Chain A
């Protein structure tokens, strides 16, 4: 399910409450904001994105970037998962976890580093409705 790099990380990413474990495993990759505030800060950021305004047309445009790597009919075992049809909240959670450094993948962390709350919300809304 998760686009991550190692077994330890995969385990953590599957657990919504794995913040403490994450800190010890991926200390060097976690952002300062996450290291200071633990998962509470991530959760707060997620809720902020959920409340952000949505521009679905903009989301559709931004989704072009995702399609370069995320196939719309990916093999279930593929290293990069398919996005279409997932719930908006799940997608927002994943994207914010990458942005904060909670989830480990260099490509996704970098991709999300440049995305605003509104952009993430718009992307999630577009994928969830297609």
Chain B
């Protein structure tokens, strides 16, 4: 908070001094005279939008990026940290390069949006005015969607669905298991962040157990969904790489999770009660609170957008990106958010600087690692069709691929991670 206040004071002073010292130059060159774009959330949607706006229109726009943190740990690739394929530092980034290039990074919590006044209110009482606002808050967890689970319970049974301390906690608990210990995972119901994520996570946890020679340990998945992303690729992979270790149980068998007791380490279903030395509970999700409180979400808990631009259907001055949106056929992923940011940046720039608005085109690929050098992927191209973001071409890894192809797929994901984080953080 102190840091933020100082920084904001410095920015304000610099602007004021500039105006006073060279009044004749201030018209048209004064930073504050440029149209103001404010971005809430510095993740795959928000940071990508900031970078794209800076790259395409940095001279003509005043760009502010608000995030409460000064560092960002990517949720994508956090499973690889769990599996021991990445260290924590390698998935942790910051906005310093964007700041140096001219984005006004405000480190503080945005607490509300006054859509009438076109301002964002901050926790320290200040407010930030915008001409266009980009809201990219990610998800909030609906803890009580799993009976017995809560934010407090997550300190014992981590969800680790927001990267950071939760991810580190899950890793600690995973690394502390003994042979014979059981892991129980409860994945979230649709729609949720990173559709293949829970199953890649199971793969990475199985990898750790196998590496330690824990032949007596088991991972039980109590899924609220009857099917999941890349299902056959994962189940084939588990059978081949971790025979007998992973058991997936769908809702038609377990009948639903009735109660979780994190202290006792039990998950009770209609079918049976499962005991785990480690419980990984990922509850249902909704758009980040700031979007909901500003009236940008509908009854689904997520934010409807115009498929041509990512503009909120609730407010023409506001755009919403990433996991918080209802983006038609697009999954909630960092890749999707980054892709949406390009479309949004083009529309925002066209709104404010009289430049061309191009047709919306979106893409996504989700890579998942099953075991060392065994990567799989799913992806698609998307365009607006009848007002909805619709898949126009797609692919998924084949079941009978060679080990060489699987290795290349994993290596491709490494190159992608480097590229998308550079694209987000301008590094």
Q: A interface vs B, CB < 8 Å?
A: 3-7, 57-58, 60-62, 64-65, 67-75, 78-80, 106-107, 109-111, 113-114
Whether B408 pairs with A6 at a CB distance below 8 angstroms is yes
Q: A71-B418, A107-B379 are in contact. Are A114 and B408 (CB under 8 A)?
A: no
Asked if B358 is at the interface of the complex by the 8 Å CB criterion, the answer is yes
Q: How far is the CB of A89 from chain B (nearest CB, A)?
A: 24
Which single member of A7, A68, A73, A75 contacts B339 (CB below 8 Å)?
A: A68
Q: Identify 10 residue pairs between A and B in the complex whose beta-carbon atoms are under 8 Å apart, listed by A's number.
A: A6-B405, A58-B356, A68-B338, A68-B339, A68-B419, A69-B412, A79-B414, A107-B395, A111-B363, A114-B381
* A-B interface pairs (CB < 8 A), number: 93
Query: B378-402: contact bitstring with A at CB < 8 Å (1 yes, 0 no)?
Result: 0111010000000011111100001
Q: How far is the CB of A8 from chain B (nearest CB, A)?
A: 9
| Cα–Cα, bound, A69→B411 (Å) | 12
B-chain residues with CB within 8 Å of residue A69 when the two chains form the complex: 365, 412, 415-416, 419-420
Whether B404 pairs with A64 at a CB distance below 8 angstroms is no
Interface size class of B (residues with CB under 8 A): 35 or more
Whether B404 pairs with A5 at a CB distance below 8 angstroms is yes
Whether A61 pairs with B346 at a CB distance below 8 angstroms is yes
Q: A5-B404, A6-B408 are in contact. Are A109 and B395 (CB under 8 A)?
A: yes
A-chain residues with CB within 8 Å of residue B52 when the two chains form the complex: 64
| Cα–Cα, bound, A3→B397 (Å) | 16
Whether B394 pairs with A107 at a CB distance below 8 angstroms is no
Known: A110-B394, A114-B361, A114-B392. 5 other contacts (CB 8 A): A5-B408, A64-B345, A68-B339, A72-B422, A110-B379
Asked if B241 is at the interface of the complex by the 8 Å CB criterion, the answer is no
B-chain residues with CB within 8 Å of residue A67 when the two chains form the complex: 419, 423
| Cα–Cα, bound, A4→B155 (Å) | 44
Whether A79 pairs with B411 at a CB distance below 8 angstroms is yes
**In this complex, what residue of B is CB-closest to A66?**
B419
Q: How far is the CB of A7 from chain B (nearest CB, A)?
A: 7
**In this complex, what residue of B is CB-closest to A72?**
B422
A-chain residues with CB within 8 Å of residue B379 when the two chains form the complex: 106-107, 110
Which single member of A61, A68, A78, A109 contacts B420 (CB below 8 Å)?
A: A68
Whether B416 pairs with A80 at a CB distance below 8 angstroms is yes
Q: How far is the CB of A109 from chain B (nearest CB, A)?
A: 7
Q: A7-B404, A68-B420 are in contact. Are A106 and B361 (CB under 8 A)?
A: no
| Cα–Cα, bound, A15→B105 (Å) | 49
| Cα–Cα, bound, A109→B365 (Å) | 12
Which single member of B377, B402, B405, B422 contacts A107 (CB below 8 Å)?
A: B377
Asked if B342 is at the interface of the complex by the 8 Å CB criterion, the answer is yes
**In this complex, what residue of A is CB-closest to B393?**
A113
| Cα–Cα, bound, A4→B14 (Å) | 51
Asked if B238 is at the interface of the complex by the 8 Å CB criterion, the answer is no
Most buried by A among B392, B402, B408, B419: B419
Whether B361 pairs with A65 at a CB distance below 8 angstroms is yes
Q: How far is the CB of B360 from chain A (nearest CB, A)?
A: 10
Whether B363 pairs with A65 at a CB distance below 8 angstroms is yes
Query: B249-277: contact bitstring with A at CB < 8 Å (1 yes, 0 no)?
Result: 00000000000000000000000000000
Asked if B409 is at the interface of the complex by the 8 Å CB criterion, the answer is yes
